[in-house]
A = this chain, B = another copy of it.
Amino acid sequence: MTEQNWTKLGLIAGGGDLPLEILKAQAGQPVFVIVLRGFADRDYSGVDNVSLSVGEIGGIIKALRGAGCDAICFAGYVSRPDLKALKMDTRGLVMVPRALAAGRNGDDAVIRVVVEEFERAGFAVIGADSLLGQDGLPVGCLGRAEAADAHLDDARKAMMVAAEIGRLDIGQGAVVSGGVVLAVEAQEGTNAMLERVAGLPAPIRGTPTDRSGVLAKRPKPIQERRVDLPTIGVDTVERCARAGLAGIVLEANGALIVDRAGVEASLQEHGLFVLIESAQ
């Protein structure tokens, strides 16, 4: 973990388990949670929290300051909000349209505008990986010890495709099986992509009894890594297993594994691997 030069964390919680993982890792430390209405979907009643809309930027900043936070971490899924239905305060009214206009250049532009706004307000922005003690996810292999040559070829091609897709700011992921690009991730997200792979005709993909194909996830080159690092969890492994894939490939220092013990158990159960490769 990097040296900590802040005193109290504000956790801005979107959907999924990642915010809970961070609370667990920060146990004993003071944490204040902004529960993002419409996105956060776990129980935060056990910790100091306030529920606000992503459009209430002024309200979020005020609440964080009121709680004495000098650092923040964005964690969990947030999708583009529906402007017509979004509750916005004055600062939100200024910023949200600006962020969405930046979004014409892709998701990363939106994220960058939001991060800069909070930095200007005086908060240190901390990556979820560093709070989970995962910065420096090392090169290596989890789960099934040996990946066959065909799987390594697929992993290599999937990483190449994911790099190109990221360079174009389209998405973070791709699936390759037998040298064929089965699917590329754009706005639908990794889970929907994996479901799609599971629905492809059997001859072009693997099956649970004859696994083939690798999911690659890697950060976009222009990515704000403190906010939107590629993430996998038990759910990802189980979807890969159902899609007949042989494994997952990630970039060292460029991904986040939520519930590492659970992920390792699921890899063992289904006979899948996770390769962590050095960035090219």
Contact = CB atoms under 8 A, between A and B. Distances in A.
Interface in A122-164: 161, 164
B179 A186 contact: no
A200 B188 contact: yes
A184 B170 contact: yes
A46 interface: no
Contact of A183 (B79, B105, B188, B200): B188
Contacts of A192: 196
A180 B82 contact: no
Q: How many residues of A sit at the interface, in one of the four size bands? A: 35 or more
A201 interface: yes
Nearest to A164: B168
Interface string A86-107: 0000000000000000011111
A171 to B, nearest CB: 8
Interface in A176-194: 178-184, 186-188, 192
**In the A-B complex, the 3 residue pairs with the closest CB atoms:** A104-B179, A82-B203, A184-B184
A120 interface: no
A105 to B, nearest CB: 6
A228 interface: no
Given A79-B201, A82-B201, A200-B187, A103 B164 contact: no
Contacts of A104: 178-180
Contacts of A168: 161, 164, 181
Contacts of A199: 188
A104 B186 CA distance: 23
20 contacts: A79-B201, A79-B203, A80-B203, A80-B204, A81-B203, A82-B201, A104-B178, A104-B179, A105-B179, A106-B180, A106-B181, A164-B164, A170-B184, A171-B181, A181-B186, A182-B186, A183-B186, A184-B186, A187-B204, A188-B200
A182 B178 contact: no
Contacts of A81: 203
A195 B20 CA distance: 34
A222 interface: no
A180 B79 contact: no
A261 interface: no
A73 to B, nearest CB: 24
A7 to B, nearest CB: 37
Nearest to A196: B188
